[in-house]
Structure formats: structure tokens, C-alpha cells
Structure 1
């Protein structure tokens, strides 16, 4: 079934662009708009703009644009229905199903939405299993041994997979799920050599539900409780259309608010580390789930904070092997600190051992910036070995060189100089060599790409001119921009609206750009139906091409501060100050381009007529047409104040 129109309307009435986007990226006010670094592409300077007044967003870097519903569709990779469900959940709106949908329409639902529903069912199944006799004696007792409270178990959707080959499969099929969806969701497996034999992926294990950033189950981690050496300790969901391991951090859904509030993210290794830290009152924590840190995971952290504290188990060999992660964090523009636990301890074991208060005190007392941390790791090694010290210096310099901010690089170079007891000039010299090599590698890569592009261009046409079609497209766009932005406003000292004037003047004009022709048609249709064709009206049509174009037409990257202009006694003339003049000149410019296009076509016909030696009467006809059009252009030029040589 689909969502009823009443539910959709309630969501649209309640949703707020700043609240929706603010769940994913920190926003800063600048002028009348809110700004952020775009969550859809990597950038250091914010180009992602929100207009609270118009309830739209637009990225001037990658071009993404839309309303709150489109934002959820883009950021979560879901369809319209799932986006409405997400927003309904956010605002506590009860979802009513549309009873008029046919079984065929239900079957045609987006595959991703079906996967989310199947994974949600599996989550509920595993959670419910904890209350079975088997679940209480095995799964629940394990969680209680680790001190997990009922509220924590509920918070993280912890569960249990029953011992048996097809418990989940049978339950899912009874609930109406098809085997192909269960396979695509990674919940079941096909027997090797016999694809007709299907069985549960997770069996006789405690379950850790993996959520996406909005709280939907997208995968599972399953821990074995027996000491069977033939079985892996953990089994995790495979890659699926909704679960990409490189873009997910365990616990981010539960942690994102605390990370933003504390302006720091604790990074640990495993599921139990995250849950145990929540028990200790520390909620700004996520886990890489035992995998190597990825660029996607770093970008996910950066949505909420620039500060990361990496928590390491008390195993120096393991720490040194995982230092690559710190370099990746630095390269991603994050400020990095580290904490090492005593030998044999990890965040989970140590928090249970010392208790919440002592655990928090330990983190505060032992947090060190990455330079002090990295040098401290190798201090014993290089104390009596000058060659090893030289190697450590180069390793530290390589890490500093990953930092994109030159001021922060300089600060860390000074600190490294003091800790390593070596002249700062030597550190800077090595640092410059490292940065120079990185830049050289980057430019060599760019050069190869350019050379490859040039090789392609050699076989393509090289002469590119701005055609009359393109010039006309720009002018058509300008006319539609004025219409969409100011069409409902009345002209000064007149009773008609600007839209009435513009539409009457373009009634006999044929637009050559399809999207602008459609926009005009939709505008006229709305007026005939008695509707006001506002920005919200066009966005509500559900046409993504129209939606994106309208947002482009009503958003500006830069705006002049009215307060700044008043302070400096600067008079700023705006196109909205005199809409009569703005509308009149917009129509004149559009007609001028159309006349010029017709003149070019007349010239071409005249040339072809002369080449083909057509009768003089036809040639004279083309000449007369051209000069008549020229007269119209000159008249328009005079009206526009264009000087004619």
C-alpha cells in the first residue's frame, strides 16, 4: 500500500528545511539564508544554501537542489514514499495508507523500499527472539553479563538469532516476503552447488543491528557465543543496495546529536565498545566495526564535527599497525587526538572494570594530540638508535604533511620539534619536501588526465561558438526567471499583475528550450485552474526537472547585505524596485534575440537562393524579409537604449 495524500499533506505542512537538513550537517546563518558544506560532495568552503523563507536548498557546487522531501530522497537514497515515512516519523505524524492502491502498484514499489521493509522485519524478529526461552537463556544472559540494561538493548535494537537453519526464513515467508528480496537484503544464503536450498545467514548468535544515519536497519553484525574455532567470531551483512560498509559507522544514528553537541567524535573498533560507552554516559561514539577506515566514513564524521578522538586497545603492536587511519583522518581535514588503554584492555572491558565516572576521567586525562601520541609510541625504539629516530622523524613529518591547513601544519611542526629535540628548521625542510612530492604526484596525475583528454579532443570538432540557440535559451531563461520570481506581484499604478503582462506578450512566441516552454505552459495552466503558481506549487508537482529548474531560477549564490548598504549610504537598484520597467525590458530583450535568430535564418535562405540561382522574385522576397526584421531590431534597440554604430 502507498501513503495517503492526507499524510503527505500533513508532512508538507509540518516539515521545515532547516530542521531536516540540520539533522545531517551543521548550519550557519549568513544573510537571509543558512549555509553548510555540501553533504553530497566533498568541499571545504560552504556552497550548500538553504532558504528558510522558500523552504528549498541548493548546492552551488554540485547542483543538487530541492525541498525537504527531495533532500531525504537524495541523502538516504530512497523513493518518495520512504522519504514521507521518514519525515512522518521525525514529526510524529501517523502514517495512513492509501486503500485505493492496486496489488500491481504495491508490487511495483521501489526495490530499495522493499529491502528496508525486509530489514525492518528482520530487526523486529531478532529483537523478539530475545524474549523466547532460547533467547533469554543464551542471548539475553550474554547481554546481562556485560551489564547491558533493557533500555540500552532497546536503544541499539540488540537481538538474537535462533539456533536452526531457517527460523528467520520461515517467519519472513509467512509474513509475505519473497526469497529474492531476502537474498538481496543479505538475510539468507543459497547453498553452494544447490541454489534451490535457502537458509538463514545468522544462526545461534547475538545480533547487533546496524542503522543508517536516519535510524533504518540496513544490516546486522552477529557474534558467536560458543568457542567453535571453525566459526568466525563475527558474521556481518554483505554489501547490498542499501548497505555500503565503506559509508557506514556503527552507532552514528545514536551518536550524531551528541557528536554535534560535544563537538567531538570518539572512534572505537567494535560494536560492544560503542554500547559500553553509552552505558558509561558517553554517547558521542562510533565504531568502524573492525574494518579499515575509509574516505566515506571520514566524510560522515565531518558532517557533525571536525574533532576526532581515536580510542586504542592496550596493544602497542596493534596500534602501530592501525596508524594509517590517523593519516586518513588528518588528510580529511579532521583534528585528531588519541587515547590508549592499559595493556589488555579495550573500551568495553575497561569501562566495565572501573565504572562510568573513572572511565570518563581516564579519557579526559589521557587524551593526547596525534603528534605527542605518535612520537610517544616510538620513544623507546629511537632513544638509543639514531637511525630509528631519523625514520620516526620522517614518519611524523609525513603525517603532518597530510594536514590541509598550513597554520595547523606549522603548529604541529613546532610541537614535533620540541618533542623530538630537533631544530624546527629541519622539520620544516622535511615537511616542504614531503608536500612538494605530494603536489608533484598530484600535478603529474592531472597532466596525464589532461593529455588523455587532449587526445580525445583531437578527434572531436575544435571550433565551438555560442550559437543563437544558446543566446536565445539564456534570454528565454531570463524571462521565465522574472515570471517565477515576481509574476504574482502587481505592476506599479496598474491593476494587472506582472504575469498577466508577460504571458500576454509571449502568447504568440514559440520558446525553443523545452523546459522553459513547459514552465510557461504549467504557469498558464495553474492560472486557468485558479491556482497561484508559486515556487511551492512547482516543487509540489513532483517533476524533478521542473523542480530543479525553478530552484535554480529563484536562488542566488551571493546577496548584498541591506544593513551594509544602508550603513555606507549606498543606493542599490533592484530589479524588483520597478517591475513595470523590468518586465518591459525583459520582453524587449527576448524579442530582440528572436528577431536576430529570424534574421540569421533569412540570411541563410538568401544565400542558398543565390547559390541555387532561384528566380529573382524569390531572392528579392528574402531580402525584403531580412530588412523588415532589421527595422524591428533597430526599433527594439532604440527602446533598450542600445547605441547603434
Structure 2
């Protein structure tokens, strides 16, 4: 069923953007707003602005904008109702159902939610299995052998899948779940060639639930405990509508708070590595679950920290095979360190071998930045082999070239020069070659284009630089921007609001840009009902196109520091100081563009009339119209102080 309007209203009244977004990304206060690195695209300089006063966010890099509900929808990849439930759960708000929707509508709307509910049932089912005789003797016994405490087992929702073919299937059916939902969730399988034969995907294995960032299970990893050569050691949930392996890291839900506090993320390979580190008192740890790192996983880490420390098993061959991951982390803008364990040890085995404190000391004392780590890894190979040394230099330089920040690149080039015993100029020369050959500057070009577009929208451009239609669009935007930001304010010495003045002066004008026409129509409709709509009204409409545009209109990227006035006594005039003048000039600019548009149309009619050899009276009629419009333009130019040579 749908969520009642009362619940939605309670959530909107209670939610706070700083608290909701604070669960996902670190923020720093600058002026009246908070700033963060955008979680929706890779960046090193924060361009993601959060306004606590307006309860909105906007990224000046990729353009994402919205309120806390929209943020949760985008970051979790969920629908509106699920986002409301998520925020309601955070604040302890009881969710009331709306019974007006039909079962068919609910089924279509909530398939994703149904999958998450089914996965939640499976998690609880596997957890409860640990209390069965089979679960205690096999699953719980295994966890205890590894030193997993009851608190850790509960923290990670560890469980056990019973030996039979359809224990989960029958349990889920009894609880009311349909087979098609269980199939889509990856919990059961169909036998090849026999669609009627279905059975559990996970059987006779210990279970490691894989959570999303808010703690809901998306999938499972399952480890076999017997030595059966015909069975893989681990099997995992397949890709589903709710589980995308490339965007998930095991343990992130349990680690996100510690990662933010420690400003460092330990990256390991497997599930048991994560759990063992938690047992050792180290909670800022996640696992790639044995798969190669992806851009999505790197962006997930970067939401919480710029520092990552990769923990490697004591296997030189395996380390060299996985070095590609370090380059990906560097390319993602992360500062990378590495720790290598003694031969034959991994994070899980070594933490159990030496104990918590000694393990923590080892990590602290053996953490090396990626340059020292990579060079040390190959040192024995190139000490007596100049050719191999040249190859290592190129490999190191290629890694340095992945770093987006030029200052950090320069620092690492200097360090590499010292460690490799080679002139720094040679390192820089090779680095420049690598950078020139690189195809990785697409991202920077894209950002430059986005910033240029943003700047163009915020300024009144030169007519020679932009098409007429674009200039007209920007003038219409400016008109709507004033309405949304200041429409409710009264004009000095006038018995009217700014919106009444603007709308009365533009009543005859028709906007050419659909979104501004739409906002203008909504504005007029509210005025007819005696209400002056604010930005909050448009943001809360539920129309994503209108919401995004209005947030763009009310968000200012740069603000003047209060120190100019408080400390230096320098007063900066703003557009709101004299709204009568601001509104008057905005109307004149808009009318000027409309007049120019009519002039262009008149010129075109004159050309067509001459080309078609129409009588002189018709041509003269169009000429009179053109010159009358020209007079109007000159009057407007005079008012605006525009001088045309």
C-alpha cells in the first residue's frame, strides 16, 4: 500500500537536511552553508552545497539538486515512498498506510520494496537457523572457532543456511512470499529444463549478509564448511534489481561512522577479514568481497574519506597481480597507503594470531604510502637489473600520473626520485609524457563545460557570444528567479508585492522556455487563490523538473563574507536592497529581448516581401512596424543606460 499524506507531512516537518545528509557524507561549514564533495560524481574540490536554512542541496559540478527526500532517493536508488519510510525510520515516525491505492498499483510501485522485504525475511531466517540443532553444531560452531563473539555475530547479522533443498523456499512461502519475488531477489533457483522445479540457492553454508549503506540486506555471501572439491568455497547473490555488486562494499554499513571519525578506510578482500578486524577493535574497514575494485565502490569510499589503506596478504605474487586496484584508487582522487602482512598471513589469520593490540600496532607501524610500497615490492628485482629498473620507473610514473591533483603528483615525483635514485627532472619528463598520452582528461573537460554553462546562466552574456534564443531564455530565467526569491516581499513606498508588479508588467508576454512557462503558470494559479507561493511550495510539489529548476534559481554559489561589513566597514549593495529598481530593470531587459524578437520577425517579413515582389505598400507596412519597434527599443536602452554605436 501507499504511504498516507499525514506520514509524508510528518516526515517533511521533522527531517533536517544536515542530519539526513550527514549519514552519508562529511560536511564543512563555510559561510551560511555546508559544503562537501559531491557523492554523485568524482571531485576533489567540494562543489556540493547544502543550505540548512532552505533545506536544499545543489551540486555546482554535476547539477544534482533537491531536498532530503530527493537525496535519499538518488543515493539509495529507491522510490519516493521508500525514501519517506527510510527517513521516517531514522526519526522514529510511525508510517501509516494509504488504503486508496489498488493492489495492482501497489504491486507495480513496490516491486523493489517487495524484494527488500523478502531479503530481510531471508536474513532473519538465516539468523534464526543458528539456534537450530544443525545450526548450533555446524554454523555457530564455525563462528566460535574463529573467535566470533555473540555481539559480532549480531552486528553483522551472520547466519546459517540449512542442508535441505528448500528450507528457505518453504519458510518464505508460508510467510506469504511469492516464488517470482524470491527468484528476482536471487534467493532461489529454477532447475534447467524444468521451470516447475525450484530450490534454495544457499544450502549448508554459513551466511554473510551484504547490506546497503542504510543497513538493509541486498544480497548474501555463503561459505561452505565441508571440503567438497565439486563445490566453490563461496557463492554469492547474483545481480538483482536491488543488488549491484559494483556499487556495494561489504561492511560499509557497519564501518561508515568509524571511517568518517578516523578519516581512513581499511580495504580488505573477504568477509571474514572485515569481521576479524572489528573483533580487534578496528571498525573502519570494508571488503571488495574478492572482486576487482570498481568506480562505484571507490566513489562509495570517497563519500566518507579521502584516505584509504589497502591490506595485503603476505603473498608477493598475489600483491603484484592486484596492484591495478591502487591505480584505480589514485585515479579516484584517494590518498593511498598499503600494509603487507608476513608470508602466509592475511588480516583474519594475523589478527587472531597476535591479538588486538599487537595487530593495531602492526597496522600503524607498517603503513606505507603507495610509492614506497610499490618501489619496495620490486626493489629486489631491479637492484642488479638496469632494464628492469627502467620498467619499474615507468610503472611508478604511470601510477603517479593517475593522481588528479598536480601538487600531490609533484610531491610523489620528488619522493620517487629519492627512492629510485634518479634525477627528479627525468621523473617529471616521463610523467609529462604519460599525462599527454593519457585519455583520462575527459572528466576535467566535462567539469569545465559544466562550470562554464553554470556561469553563463548566472550572468547576462554579451549578445555576440550567445544565440538570441539563449539570451531570451536567460532573461526569462531572471524574471522567474526574482519571483521565486523575492515575490512575497513588499516594494518600498508601494502598496504591492514584487510579484504583483512583475506579473502585471508582463501580463501580455508569452515565455518561450517551457519550464519557466510552467513555473509562471503555477505562480499565477496560486495568486488567483490568494496565496503567494514561496520556493518551499515549488520544492515540495513532487515535480522533479520544477524542484531542480527552483533550487537552481534560489541557490547562490558564492556569498559575500560578513567580515567585509563587520570588520572592514565595506558595504556591498545587493539586488534585494532596492527590489523596485531590480524588478524594473529585469522587466525592461525582458521586454527589450521580446522587442528584438519582433524586430527580427519584421525584418524577415520585409526580406520575404521583397523576394516575392509584393507591392511597395506591403513592404512599407513591414518597414513601419520595424522602425516603430526600433523606437521602443531605443527608449528601453535609454532607461537601461545602454549605448549603441
* TM-score, normalisation: structure 1: 0.90
User: How far apart are residue 598 of structure 1 and its match?
Assistant: 2.1
Specify the alignment match of 2:126 in structure 1.
126
- Alpha-carbon distance in structure 2 between the residues aligned to 1:12 and 1:161: 41
Counterparts of 1:282 and 1:628, CA distance in 2: 79
1:34 paired with 2:31, answer no
1:440 aligned residue? 437
CA distance in 2, matches of 1:361, 1:114: 45
Match of 2:145 in 1: 145
Deviations 1:230-269 (A, max 9, x none): 0000001112232222222110111111011011111111
Whether 1:226 aligns to 2:223 is no
1:506 matched to 2:503? The reply is no
SS in 2 for 1:521: helix
Q: How many residues align?
A: 626
Instruction: Tell me, in whole angstroms, the C-alpha distance in 2 between the residues paired with 1:87 and 1:526.
Output: 30
TM-superposed deviation, 1:384: 5.3
Bigger CA drift: 340-349 or 368-377?
A: 368-377
Structure 1 residue 189 displacement after superposition: 1.8
C-alpha RMSD over aligned residues: 2.6
Instruction: Give the distance between the partners of 1:438 and 1:618, measured in 2 at CA.
Output: 64
User: Secondary structure of 2:577's match?
Assistant: coil
User: Which one is further off, 312-321 or 612-621?
Assistant: 612-621
Q: Quick check: 2:398–2:434 contact (8 Å CA) kept in 1? A: no
Are the structure 2 counterparts of residues 618 and 330 from structure 1 closer, same or farther at C-alpha, using a change threshold of 3 Å?
A: closer
Mapped to 2, the partners of 1:354 and 1:253 lie a distance apart of: 27
Deviates more, 1:585-594 or 1:437-446: 437-446
Asked if the contact 1:413/1:428 (under 8 Å) is kept, the reply is no
3-state DSSP class of the match of 1:291? coil
**Residue 471 (structure 1) shift:** 2.8
With over 3 angstroms needed to count, the CA separation of the structure-2 counterparts of 1:437 and 1:635, relative to structure 1, is closer
- In structure 2, relative to structure 1, the CA distance for the partners of 1:428 and 1:171 (3 Å cut) is farther
Q: Give the Å deviation of 1:558.
A: 2.1
Match of 1:183 in 2: 183
Measure how far apart 1:573 and its partner are.
2.2
Q: Does 1:628 align with 2:628?
A: yes
Q: Distance in 1 between the 2:532 and 2:226 partners?
A: 67
The corresponding residue for 1:461 is none
Quote the residue 1:74 is aligned against: 74
In 2, Cα distance between equivalents of 1:428 and 1:618 = 76
Counterpart of 1:454 in structure 2 is none
C-alpha change, 1:231 and 1:435, in structure 2 (3 Å) is farther
Task: Give 1:429's match in structure 2, choosing from 426, 444, 463.
Answer: 426
Over 3 Å counting, the alpha-carbon distance change for 1:128 and 1:428 in structure 2 is farther
What is the deviation of 1:102?
2.0
Q: Which moved more, 1:509-518 or 1:129-138?
A: 129-138
1:271 Cα offset (Å): 0.3
User: Secondary structure, in 3 states, of the residue corresponding to 2:100?
Assistant: coil
Confirm whether residue 9 of structure 1 aligns to residue 9 of structure 2. Answer: yes
More displaced 10-residue stretch of structure 1: 8-17 or 409-418: 409-418
Q: Secondary structure at the match of 2:148?
A: coil
Structure 2 vs 1, CA of residues 569 and 217 (structure 1 numbering), >3 Å: closer, same or farther?
same
Counterparts of 1:476 and 1:332, CA distance in 2: 39
Aligned-pair CA distance for 1:134 = 2.4
Contact kept? 2:267, 2:309, Cα under 8 Å: yes
Q: How far has the Cα of 1:388 moved from its partner?
A: 4.7
Distance 2:482 2:245 in 1: 46
Higher mean displacement: 378-387 or 307-316: 378-387
Distance 1:3 1:132, change over 3 A: farther
Question: Is 1:96 matched with 2:96?
Answer: yes
Q: Find the aligned partners of 2:432 and 2:348 in 1 and give their Cα distance.
A: 39
The 3 A distance-change label for structure 1 pair 414 and 465 is closer
Structure 1 alignment gaps of length 5 or more: 450-463
CA offset at residue 634 of structure 1?
A: 3.0
What residue is the counterpart of 1:534 in the other structure?
Answer: 534
Deviations 1:123-176 (A, max 9, x none): 222222222332222222222222222222221121222222222223333434
Q: Distance in 2 between matches of 1:579 and 1:260?
A: 44
Q: Which residue of 1 aligns with 2:597?
A: 597
Q: What's 1:557 paired with? A: 557
Give TM-score scaled by structure 2 length. 0.90
Of stretches 509-518 and 596-605 in structure 1, the one that deviates more from structure 2 is: 596-605
The 2-side partners of 1:443 and 1:277 are apart by 35
More off after superposition, 262-271 vs 598-607: 598-607
Q: Is the 8 A contact 1:401 1:431 kept in 2?
A: no
Structure-2 separation of matches of 1:116 and 1:624? 70
Shift of residue 544, structure 1, vs aligned partner: 0.8
Q: Aligned partners of 2:78, 2:20: CA distance in 1, in Å?
A: 15
Identify unmatched segments of 5+ residues in structure 2.
447-463
1:453 is aligned to none
Relative distance call for 1:222 and 1:533 in structure 2 (3 A) is same
Note the C-alpha offset of 1:595.
Answer: 2.1
- Counterparts in 2 of 1:81-480, with a 5 A limit? 81-382=81-382, 388-420=388-420, 422=421, 424-425=422-423, 428-442=425-439, 466-480=466-480
Distance 1:313-1:444 versus aligned 2 partners, 3 A rule: closer
The answer to whether the 8 Å contact 2:42/2:332 transfers is no
1: CA distance, partners of 2:508 / 2:555? 29
Cα contact 2:417–2:427 (8 A) shared by 1: no
Deviations 1:92-142 (A, max 9, x none): 222222233221221221543333233222222222222233222222222
Aligned to 1:455: none
CA 498–129 in structure 1, closer or farther in 2 if over 3 Å, else same? same
**CA–CA distance in structure 1, aligned partners of residues 48 and 337 of structure 2:** 29
Specify whether residues 507 and 164 from structure 1 end up closer, same or farther in structure 2 by C-alpha distance, changes over 3 A only: same
Q: Distance in 1 between matches of 2:629 and 2:491?
A: 30
Q: Give the structure 1 partner of residue 588 of structure 2.
A: 588
User: Structure 1 residues 509 and 387 mapped into 2: Cα distance closer, same or farther (>3 Å)?
Assistant: closer
Distance (Å, rounded) in 2 between the aligned partners of 1:318 and 1:443: 27
Identify which range, 43-52 or 409-418, moves more after superposition: 409-418
Give how far 1:43 is off. Answer: 1.7
Who is 1:573 aligned against?
573
For residue 578 of structure 1, give the secondary structure of its aligned residue in structure 2: helix
